[in-house]
Amino acid sequence: MSTVPPRARDGKRLPSVSVTSRSGGKVAVMATRRPVILIDLPPHHRRSFLDDELVSRLAAVGEVRDLDREWSGPDLRLAADAVVTGWASKRLPDRLADADRLRLVAHTGGTVRFLVPRRLIDAGVTVTQTSSAMAPAVAELCLVQTITLLRRLPAIGERMRQRDWSGAIAIPPGRSLQGMHVGVIGASRVGRAYIAAVRALGGVVSVYDPYLADADARRMGVKRAGLGELLAGCPVVALHAPVTEATRGMLDARRLATIADDGILINTARSALIDTAALVAELRSGRLSAALDVFDVEPLAQDDPLWSLPNVLLTPHRGAATAQTSTAMGEMAVTEIERFFRGEPPIAPVSASIYDTIA
């Protein structure tokens, strides 16, 4: 039998492929057919993440197809060799049948728990994600929110829109990030990017993260702290932790009450980290202010009390929503697919060991 790889449509030879079998071992497979790469993104996300150049790169690897978003019956994604997914993708089935071909899920996002059952990873499906491409933009929004609230810009802006110069002047002076004690809950990729930005502007950072090693904390220039110590000692608290059994509802009424008066809470991570009713009560009292990009129910209900609170800065879950970030996430997903079918290890794999802790 000939060992010469077949040719793609553009005339280039297709390489042999090394993939992970369901038993966990590496299996070399001669590329006797082109892999099928299925794009499971709604049209507006597809345009944002995958420009013509990136689609051409995918087409050099395999046959690119778009998923029919209205499909019913058997999950068509299981018949593809690789699938590009996003926030709007439906959850994959728990099990693979012997005839299913799916070997790679390249997710354009962070957490995959809503999308990929752990059983598929255990069965040998490679899963990758692009949170490292998202981190700079989310951290940037966090920094903007922090400074905006420290400088009391929402209240000042409202007075200025009312042409009330003297009223704007009468608002108490804001605070600078220089020398400010900032508490970061979760040294995730976004958390670390935010820490670097805050420290660059003179902020003093404490971090609560049970998984953060002392050596890493020293390299980052931060102080490790217990949760209670952090909340009591930091007028600014930013959340960058994943939702796990240990972190769900971690900021309840008791914990929120320990934040100093005139404190600021920033949450671009997950709403489930906070007891929302307790937070609303604190905000209504005027004791705290907050910037929120994530909510228990999205879109935010029209009658939600958060809309009317003047000390809350709201954004509609847009932390990573920049043109550059979308392109970077798409490029990373395409690179993961190229590497996989060249038999190279993934850049950002989601293994079973980090499945529950990845943000």
Q: Does 298 participate in catalysis according to the annotation? A: yes
Q: Which of 270, 282, 331, 336 is catalytic?
A: 270
Q: Does 270 participate in catalysis according to the annotation? A: yes
Q: Residue 327: in which H helix or E strand, if any?
A: helix 323-341
Q: Does 45 participate in catalysis according to the annotation? A: no
Q: Which of 53, 91, 218, 298 is catalytic?
A: 298
Under 8 Å between Cβ of 207 and 223: yes
Q: Which of 175, 287, 317, 339 is catalytic?
A: 317
Q: Strand pairing of 26-29 and 17-20?
A: antiparallel
- Going from the C-alpha of 171 to that of each of 162, 181, 301, 318, the distances in angstroms are 14, 23, 31, 29
Q: Give the DSSP letter string of 210-253.
A: TT--HHHHHHHT-EE--HHHHHHH-SEEEE-PPP-TTTTT-B-H
Count of alpha carbons within 13 Å of 173, Cβ hemisphere only? 2
Residues 332, 347: Cα–Cα separation, whole Å: 9
Q: Which amino acid is at 229?
A: E
Residues 66, 38: Cα–Cα separation, whole Å: 6
E strands, the chain, are: 17-20, 26-29, 36-39, 63-66, 82-85, 104-107, 126-128, 181-185, 204-208, 223-224, 236-239, 263-267, 288-292, 312-314
Active site residues: 270, 298, 317
